[in-house]
Amino acid sequence: MRIFSCFLSAIVLFILTGCMPSSEEIKKDTLENTEQAFLSKKQEINETSKQFSYYLPEDFQVKETKNFNVLLEKGNQSFILFVNQNEEENSRVSYDTLVEQYKDPFISETFERDHQFGYLFVVKVDKNLYEVTVGIGGIKLTTESEAHNLHDDAQVMMEIVKSVQ
């Protein structure tokens, strides 16, 4: 009976492991979704702070606003939106700072179009947890995301960042 239980446990573990996407699949899907959001047209603005306006998806809430920072929440996940109005849309300063700070990122990709410099920067924090930063010029949005949500989180983050005016 004990051997049967071990065998059954091994089969279940094998099946569950087989269902999880590989690191390469996660990278590919996340990059494709983020680039698609970068290249698409801006979402309609539906939220305004004292300093700027932006698109906020229905499942997000504004938790706190301080000058050029907005703390957003989606369920129990926090996002920090930072807007540096002194940086142009083609500025590389935020991205270059991340590159200097983290020597071995999970994903470090850039996008350019119409005088805009966009980027996706992902660092592995734990086994299935990643710190995700998406930006265009001096506008960036950061969160921690689980592996299975990474591609969706990065896409909606780029939609928000792209919309900031």
- Which tens digit of pLDDT belongs to each residue from 99-120? 999 999 999 999 999 999 999 9
pLDDT at 3 over 80: no
* Residue reference for tokens 């969160």: 143
**Cβ-contact 90, 115 below 8 angstroms:** yes
CATH code for the structural domain at 21-163: 3.40.1000
- At 6, the pLDDT band (50, 70, 90 cuts) reads very low
Structure confidence by residue, pLDDT tens digits, 13-27: 444 444 567 989 999
Quick one: pLDDT at residue 93? 96
Mean of pLDDT values over 129-142: 98
So what's the pLDDT on residue 1? 57
Q: What is the mean pLDDT of residues 39-59?
A: 95
Contacts of 54 (CB under 8 A, 6+ apart): 45, 47, 48, 81, 160, 163, 164, 165
The band of 4, judged by pLDDT with boundaries at 50, 70 and 90, is: very low
Tokens of 13: 């573990």
d(CA 96, CA 49): 27
| Position 8 pLDDT exceeds 70 | no
Contacts for 68 with CB less than 8 Å, ≥ 6 apart: 51, 52, 82, 83, 84, 85
Q: What is the pLDDT of residue 121?
A: 98
Does residue 150 carry a pLDDT above 70? yes
Joined together, the tokens standing for residue 11 give 């089969």
Write the CA distances from 124 to 54, 104, 121, integer angstroms.
28, 9, 10
